[in-house]
Amino acid sequence: MPLPTDKLRIGTKNDKRKRVTPELEATFEKMYHQEGTSLRKIERDTGITRRTIKSYLFPEYKEEWAKQRYAEKPWLKYYDKDKHREYMRAHRKRLKELGIEK
């Protein structure tokens, strides 16, 4: 049975995902095209994954990757109860750390 905290949202301000801002996107462009920096070095310097950086630098790559990803439906391949249970524990722990619990 789900707990009341399962429906609570962490929100975009408190989640741990990185955001690509227009300034960061300009940094990708400058580092790759003007300075000739490799994608791996940009990844290390910014903390953004290579796939994300590549999708901003090459829009055609992003479209092709999206088609391939949705054709394969990876979310059906990897879902199982144990993984879900681990994820929910981590989510509840994060809510508790932020003080967002019922």
Q: What is the mean pLDDT of each run of 10 residues along the chain (102 residues)?
A: 66 73 92 91 90 90 83 72 87 84 61
Q: What is the pLDDT of residue 88?
A: 87
H helical segments located in the chain: 22-29, 39-46, 50-57, 59-72, 74-78, 81-98
Under a CB-based contact definition with an 8 Å cutoff, are residues 77 and 49 in contact? Answer: no
Cα separations in angstroms, 28 against 18, 20, 59, 62: 14, 10, 13, 15
Residue the block writes with tokens 């690509």: 20
